[in-house]
Amino acid sequence: MTAATPVGVRSRRTADVPALVASASQGDARAVGRLISLVEDASPALREVMALLAPRAGHARVIGLTGSPGVGKSTSTSALVAAYRQRGMRVGVLAVDPSSPFSGGALLGDRVRMQDHATDDGVFIRSMASRGHLGGLSWATPQALRVLSAAGCDVVLVETVGVGQAEVEVASLADTTLVLLAPGMGDGIQAAKAGILEVADVFVVNKADREGADTVVRDLRYMQSLGTQSPSQAKVEGKWVAPILKTVAARGEGIEDVVDAVEQHGDWLARTGELQRRRARRASDEVEAIALTVLRDRMGDLRGGNVLEGLAERVVAGELDPYAAADELVAAVTA
């Protein structure tokens, strides 16, 4: 079976992983979708998939897009997709946003495409459930990014609602993080609270035709002027000060400026070595998370074998404290 052979993935029970990866690398949307499903289902085939994808997994620029519900994340994502398509780039979208109309499907376990881009084969859109990972991104997000990158996406937009620590997580995954705000949502105060100053590489004040947009811009400038640059930014030469842009995403206004700002940030990342640092940190986090999962699975096996149950019972009975029990568990796992 050659790379060009279309693979009838839906008719197979056991995926032919190398063929699937080959098809996905050719940009076959069904193969890409199937691979992301394997990722989401934590399929045993995942290891083989990731091994095959490794050489192409770092191709895409990853752009995070976060903000409170109602700021227009989905509209902005859609407008950005259109802008990148006009530049001839292949675009992936991962919507990990319980409030997003795109991600409604994920909750039901299926897939929803953005209306405007449904027939464009240069666009891959995937909604992902965030369950299994408290209030944040799906644990499968980094691996879905690898799939989209290997499928030839030049840009992947990761859209997530800025609730809890999700915006911190998306920033840890992304090369460039866009923080969206909108007038009339008390965002100025929210911004200070949630520490979005630390994660934003570009601020986008959407719905800028509404009253109060300038106030949001002013509040952001004021907060920036307080000099609370993020530690990671302070460390590198030539600080990046997040630009504050105004958009009306529903009409496409200001979107080109956002794309330009992302490009400038990309240049800055490359020039300062920060891109390499961010990606290394991301890979460290990913490897560590997988290693912990492996170890947790071993504990689960021990759970089945009553080791953990026995320890837990002694903790409940007050015979053992949880730390001493954990030491015994670690000893069992690493034996």
* Shortest separation between residue 90's beta carbon and a copy of itself, angstroms: 19
By CB under 8 A, the residues from 238 to 297 that bind a copy of itself are 276, 279-281, 283-284, 286-288, 290-296
By CB under 8 A, the residues from 143 to 182 that bind a copy of itself are 143, 163-166, 169
Residue 41 within binding range of a copy of itself, rule CB under 8 A: no
* Shortest separation between residue 326's beta carbon and a copy of itself, angstroms: 4
98 in Cβ contact with 232 (< 8 Å): no
Residue 50 within binding range of a copy of itself, rule CB under 8 A: yes
CA contacts within 13 A on the Cβ side of 325? 17
CA-closest candidate to residue 28, choices 117, 121, 143: 121
159 in Cβ contact with 93 (< 8 Å): yes
Q: Which stretch binds a copy of itself (CB under 8 A): 6-14, 151-159, 220-228, 302-310?
A: 302-310
In the chain, DSSP finds a helix count (H) and a strand count (E) of 15, 7
268 in Cβ contact with 240 (< 8 Å): yes
Q: Which two tokens stand for residue 109?
A: 């376990």
Nearer to a copy of itself, 82 or 315 (CB): 315
Q: Report the C-alpha gap between 292 and 294 in whole angstroms.
A: 5
Beta strand pairing status for 176-181 and 202-205? parallel
Q: Which of 5, 42, 47, 184 binds a copy of itself (CB under 8 A)?
A: 47
Residue 236 within binding range of a copy of itself, rule CB under 8 A: no
Which stretches of the chain bind a copy of itself, using CB under 8 A? 46-47, 50-51, 53-58, 133-136, 142-143, 163-166, 169, 276, 279-281, 283-284, 286-288, 290-296, 299, 303, 308-309, 311-313, 315-327, 329-330, 333-334
